[in-house]
């Protein structure tokens, strides 16, 4: 029997068998999964056995500096699938399906498992040369693009991105695509900073040793950055963002924050900089640019960017582990040691493992 990655207890993952012998409905397809990736944000909060609505972690960013004791335990922990997106090959189609054929390479949403049965509307056709790593960045790309649009980045703007999980990494590259002349990236994890630099960021800062707000002002001849994309949901990051922001600048707050207990001083730079804070969430409707833009259009724009190779996702998906090691890897790289990973990749083909 095929296996799937399951959360069996708080902070415990396992590969368990499932039944894949059922006949397809006429409107379904079966896909053999080749690669997959989990979500490092709300999924992790639930994996730890706490409410996904009160999380001490957002997309891996600032993890070491957020207190876990503030999380609220769930009343009951039931087994559930772990995983977010996959890439695979269609192996069977129902009698009524004409959108896909056997052999087509597709991307979709699912827990990490060897096969997926789904409807064609839930699949994206992958161009021949599209990297699977680009495809599994489709979900975080939604929130990165939403932040870029909500912040109103224009040609020549100076931008800072706080938090370099998958969303921050993608936002950094998208800011450049949008015309930013300067992109500073901020994260306490060196590996993540270096990946962002190799992808085109101008400068990187470590908030545990650098006075980021001051440095952003120094880099911009005391003006400050025009836009901040804040993905970490950390109050100290937000304070530095307010200090390094230009007068009248915009902060797109993407991170899913818990209640702030301190670290904020609204009476200093925050007040005098006349900051605009936009809470950015791609899938909240109506979109700020409704009716011209909605979540569907954001998804389509992200897929076009990724399929065309305009965003480099090769180092964002790291490490890549064999499916047989995915339970241990999930516990290690997603939960216990986020500093060793950005977005975990899982190979069910035995290829491209790092």
> Could you report the per-residue pLDDT of 126-173, keeping only the tens digit for each?
999 999 999 999 999 999 999 999 999 999 999 999 999 999 999 999
Q: Is the pLDDT of residue 66 over 80?
A: no
Question: Residues 6 or more apart from 323 whose CB is under 8 A from it?
Answer: 3, 15, 112, 114, 346, 347, 348
CATH 3.90.180.10 fits 3-131+315-347, yes or no: yes
Would you say the C-alpha torsion 293, 295, 297, 303 has a positive or negative sign? positive
Segment 234-260 shows an average pLDDT of 90
> What pLDDT sits at residue 259?
76
Q: Which of 72-76, 185-189, 265-269 has the lowest mean pLDDT?
A: 72-76
Alpha-carbon distance 35 to 252, whole Å?
32
> Could you report the per-residue pLDDT of 315-347, keeping only the tens digit for each?
999 999 999 999 999 999 999 998 899 999 999
> Could you report the per-residue pLDDT of 118-130, keeping only the tens digit for each?
999 999 999 999 9
Q: Which of 55-69, 247-261, 271-285 has the lowest mean pLDDT?
A: 55-69
Where do we find the tokens 């006949």? Answer: 23
Closest among 273, 286, 40 to 146, alpha carbons compared: 286
Structural Rg of the chain based on CA atoms: 21
Closest among 80, 81, 93 to 123, alpha carbons compared: 93
Return the SS3 of 57: coil
pTM: 0.90
Q: Which of 48-57, 207-216, 266-275, 313-322 has the lowest mean pLDDT?
A: 48-57
Q: Is 173 left (phi over 0), alpha (psi -120 to 50) or beta?
A: alpha
Comparing 56 with 274, which gets the higher pLDDT?
274
Of 55-64, 174-183, 279-288, highest mean pLDDT? 174-183
Where do we find the tokens 């922001």? Answer: 245
Alpha-carbon distance 11 to 112, whole Å?
16
Closest among 283, 255, 256, 352 to 313, alpha carbons compared: 352
> What pLDDT sits at residue 350?
82
Segment 197-214 shows an average pLDDT of 97
- Every domain of the chain and the residues it spans: 3-131+315-347, 139-279
> What pLDDT sits at residue 73?
46
Q: Are 232 and 255 in contact (CB under 8 A)?
A: yes
Quote the distance between the C-alpha of residue 235 and its chain's center: 20
CATH 3.40.50.2300 fits 139-279, yes or no: no
Question: Residues 6 or more apart from 37 whose CB is under 8 A from it?
Answer: 83, 84, 85, 86, 112, 136, 317, 343, 344, 345, 346
Record the tokens describing residue 277, joined without a space: 């804070």
């Amino acid at each position: 029997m095929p296996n799937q990655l399951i959360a069996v207890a708080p902070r415990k993952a396992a590969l368990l068998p499932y039944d894949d012998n059922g006949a397809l409905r006429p409107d379904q397809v079966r896909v053999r999964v080749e690669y997959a990736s989990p979500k490092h944000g709300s999924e992790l909060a639930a994996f730890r056995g706490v409410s996904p609505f009160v999380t001490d972690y957002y997309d891996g960013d600032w993890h070491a500096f957020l207190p876990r004791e503030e999380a609220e335990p769930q009343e009951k922990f039931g087994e559930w699938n772990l995983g977010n997106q996959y890439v695979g090959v269609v192996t069977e189609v129902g009698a009524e399906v004409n959108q896909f054929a056997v052999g087509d390479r597709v991307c979709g949403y699912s827990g990490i498992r060897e096969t997926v049965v789904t409807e064609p509307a839930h699949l994206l056709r992958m161009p021949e040369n599209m990297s699977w790593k680009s495809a599994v960045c489709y979900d975080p790309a939604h929130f990165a693009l939403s932040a870029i649009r909500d912040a109103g980045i224009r040609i020549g703007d100076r931008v800072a991105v706080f938090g370099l999980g998958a969303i921050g990494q993608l936002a950094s590259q998208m800011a450049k695509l949008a015309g930013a002349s300067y992109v500073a990236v901020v994260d306490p994890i060196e590996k993540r900073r270096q990946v962002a630099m190799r992808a085109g960021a101008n400068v990187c800062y470590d908030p545990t040793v650098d006075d980021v707000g001051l440095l952003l002002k120094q880099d911009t001849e005391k003006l400050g950055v025009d836009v901040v994309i804040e993905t970490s949901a950390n109050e100290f990051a937000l304070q530095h963002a307010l200090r390094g922001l230009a007068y009248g600048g915009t902060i797109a707050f993407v991170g899913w924050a818990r209640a702030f207990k301190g670290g904020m001083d609204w009476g200093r730079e925050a007040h005098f900089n006349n900051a605009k804070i936009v809470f950015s969430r791609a899938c909240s409707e109506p979109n700020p640019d409704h009716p011209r833009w909605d979540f569907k259009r954001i998804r389509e724009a992200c897929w076009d960017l990724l399929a065309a190779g305009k965003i480099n996702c090769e180092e964002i998906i790291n490490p890549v582990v064999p499916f047989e090691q995915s339970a241990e890897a999930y516990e290690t790289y997603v939960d216990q040691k986020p500093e060793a990973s950005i977005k975990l990749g899982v190979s069910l083909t035995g290829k491209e493992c790092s």
